[in-house]
Structure 1
Amino acid sequence: MARSKVSLQDLAGRLGVSVKTVSGALSGDASIRMAEETRKRIRTLADELGYRPNLVARGMRQGVMPIIGIVADGLITQPFATEIMRAFDNSVRTDGLSVVVTSTGSGRSVETSVGELQRFMPRAIAYATMYHQVVDLPPAARDAIALMINCRGTDEAIPALVPAERDAAEAITHRLIEAGRRRIAFFNLPGLLAGTLRAEGFRAAHQEAGVAMVQDWIRPATRGTYSNQARSLVLEHVADLFAGPDRPDAILCGNDRVALEVYGALRRHNLSIPDDVAVASFDNQVEIAARLDPPLTTMALPHRAMGRRAAEILAGHGAPARAIEEIPFRLVERASV
């Protein structure tokens, strides 16, 4: 019998049971009662004959396919955020699910992307962004989206997984304070939600530790909203802060790219890392952080953990999603502190 032609009827005929019994054994439907020995015999024969379920037919009967849809707002083109997709895809595959991704932008709206995914009859649809932000989803798409990843809605009506930005800033600032640093500057990411939340954590850590903070030392790393194309202010800040006797003994950087610039600026002033100035950061962009001299202490973005948790939620495992679920960063200790 050709492996590709094996049907439920073939299995039922060989074993002398009903098609309904075979279907229940292979699908795991607990409502169809049978002896455990019968269930094992059916599954064993199905494996021996190479039976493969007709997923399209099953999807038509059940109204859903074994698919999770992702609407990606630029996500799949960003080096960091692709970690979300890799972890998500690897996790859902263990449940026999597949992932279909469609992107917004270039004239394609969220509503259009959701409509494209709905043609596949997915079990669920998620919306993901390339960086942490607040997203005002159009009303037509809200009812279709079950989870937001790396972003949150304006009204928090849809469950969301986001990086724990404030906690991460508290943790890395406490690490600097524990290392004996008491005069910490922060070159933050202006115009980004991550920057706002990290500044809150930076201030909170100082207050909790009873360490005085210089408000003027929280400075924007770039002119205008942060991006890789925005004009850097790092050289100017380092020249200003180290011009007089009241100098920082540590600099917290908004991300590893900013830290790379800080390394160069400090060396222009013959300052040693970490002896004269400790440097810490966010992201754990390994091609930068691990190759700097000395290697950079940084908070790793939780993108893989977000992908795994999203898969868990949408596949129906574990605890249900909360309105806003913050996923913790991971401290990566290297030699710059």
Structure 2
Amino acid sequence: MTTIKEVAEKAGASVTAVSLSLNHRENGHVNKELAEHIRKTAKKLGYHPNPMARSLRTSRTRTIGFISEEIATTPYAGELILGAQDAASELGYMMLMVVTDGKADEAKEIASLKRYGADGFLYAKMHNRISNIPRSLSNEQTVLINARDAKDHVPNITPDEVAIGYDATTKLIDSGAKRIAYIGCSDDLIAEPLRRKGYEQALTDAGMSVNPNLEIRVPNDGPCLERISELFDTQQPDAFFCFNDARTWYIYQCAAQRGLQIGRDISLIGVDNNRIVSETFEPRPTTIELPHYEMGYWGARKLISLIEGRELKTIDTTGMVAEIPELDAPNPVFIRCALIERGSVASKASHRE
């Protein structure tokens, strides 16, 4: 195992200079070029800090706690957790996770993380909502993921719900659609009115009228099919923006019953990039992907920057679906979601026929 002394000898620097540079505390002590040379040398030698020794020096364990409520039972939990874990690992931290799904007492689970010496906490929700962090975290470094802090005192990140509706509807408008319906959700969710707001704003900005008869809010079951079927017959929309991918199923069914083809006669866009839907339907539905990995990644980096009291280097986001916001972005932080284009949006020529 490579030691700091060996790095110092190879880099031609003092042990103190190496220690300061590897801990990014070189400002005013080690010149920038030498600090960068030391870090490159350490990387080349395969140097890894001893976490136990570091924790004794800094009174930090380099461990963060991830607290979720039901999120581990959702299909997107893996990406949220993976994003946070990847960011923590890259910065030399370990992540411990607890799930409070009604079977476990949240206060006890948080207390157990504190006993392990967690330096800070990620508090995640399974869908976008207004939330208050537990009282036991009020004096801890904490970041909310996929939720808004009720008072915006705690750093938080959520999808840009208005932009979801706006971007999806704009894509449908650009395809030549003239009668775009919105299939909303009847549940009391923060995302629902915000996505509808984006839908209506896109129509207005394009000089198209907002027609209340083309907007419905439905549950995700039998009544949904009945309402959409009625909408097909009474309003004859040529495109649909759906609150989520699950609701696109009813569009496919109603179109098939009327001899209409998705991607030619009818255009549609959903939200969340549900794997079951995207891998089952043909043509595969165009969708807006919710950035669970990116929210988890940003949340962990934000938390660690707070724990260490320093700015973190800009990262390479190549390969990520959504653009990561700056860590110093003001609360609340919104992340714009990516449009995943497939075959369910007709061409302009198809809409003109």
User: TM-score range, shorter-chain basis?
Assistant: 0.7 to 0.9
Paired with 1:96 and 1:164, the residues of 2 have a C-alpha distance of: 30
Paired with 1:143 and 1:258, the residues of 2 have a C-alpha distance of: 42
Paired with 2:276 and 2:208, the residues of 1 have a C-alpha distance of: 33
Q: Match for residue 273 of structure 1?
A: 262
Letter of the aligned partner of 1:207 in structure 2? T
Structure 2 residue 114 is matched with structure 1 residue 118: yes
How far apart are residue 60 of structure 1 and its match?
Answer: 3.6
Letter of the aligned partner of 2:104 in structure 1? R
Q: Is the 8 A contact 2:141 2:303 kept in 1?
A: no
Letter of the aligned partner of 1:171 in structure 2? D
* TM norm structure 2: 0.78
Describe how 1:140-159 pairs up with structure 2 within 5 A: 140-159=136-155
SS class of match (1:271): coil
Q: Match for residue 329 of structure 1?
A: 337
SS class of match (1:213): coil
How many residue pairs get aligned? The number is 320
Letter of the aligned partner of 1:217 in structure 2? L
Structure 2 residue 211 is matched with structure 1 residue 214: yes
Query: Alpha carbons of 1:156 and 1:178: their partners in 2 closer, same or farther (altered >3 Å)?
Result: same
Q: Is the 8 A contact 1:127 1:147 kept in 2?
A: yes
Query: Alpha carbons of 1:97 and 1:268: their partners in 2 closer, same or farther (altered >3 Å)?
Result: same
How far apart are residue 303 of structure 1 and its match?
Answer: 1.3
Paired with 1:136 and 1:38, the residues of 2 have a C-alpha distance of: 42
Paired with 1:133 and 1:38, the residues of 2 have a C-alpha distance of: 44
Query: Alpha carbons of 1:321 and 1:73: their partners in 2 closer, same or farther (altered >3 Å)?
Result: farther
Query: Alpha carbons of 1:204 and 1:63: their partners in 2 closer, same or farther (altered >3 Å)?
Result: same
Query: 1:194-233 deviations in whole A, cap 9, x for unaligned?
Result: 11210111111111111122213221231xxxxxxx5343
Structure 1 stretches of 5 or more lacking a match? 223-229
Q: Match for residue 69 of structure 1?
A: 65
Paired with 2:17 and 2:204, the residues of 1 have a C-alpha distance of: 66
Paired with 2:280 and 2:21, the residues of 1 have a C-alpha distance of: 54
Structure 2 stretches of 5 or more lacking a match? 306-311, 315-326, 346-353
Letter of the aligned partner of 2:338 in structure 1? R
Q: Is the 8 A contact 2:87 2:297 kept in 1?
A: yes
Paired with 1:103 and 1:234, the residues of 2 have a C-alpha distance of: 32
Query: 1:14-39 deviations in whole A, cap 9, x for unaligned?
Result: xxx99978866765653896899999
Q: Match for residue 246 of structure 2?
A: 257
Query: Alpha carbons of 1:296 and 1:34: their partners in 2 closer, same or farther (altered >3 Å)?
Result: closer
Query: Alpha carbons of 1:321 and 1:126: their partners in 2 closer, same or farther (altered >3 Å)?
Result: farther
SS class of match (1:280): strand
Q: Match for residue 225 of structure 2?
A: 235
Paired with 2:258 and 2:212, the residues of 1 have a C-alpha distance of: 23
Q: Match for residue 297 of structure 2?
A: 308
Paired with 1:180 and 1:336, the residues of 2 have a C-alpha distance of: 13
Max Rg structure: 1
Letter of the aligned partner of 1:148 in structure 2? L
From 178, 182, 198, give the equivalent of 1:182: 178
* TM norm structure 1: 0.81
Letter of the aligned partner of 2:339 in structure 1? L
Query: Alpha carbons of 1:312 and 1:266: their partners in 2 closer, same or farther (altered >3 Å)?
Result: same
Describe how 1:13-52 pairs up with structure 2 within 5 A: 27=23, 30=26
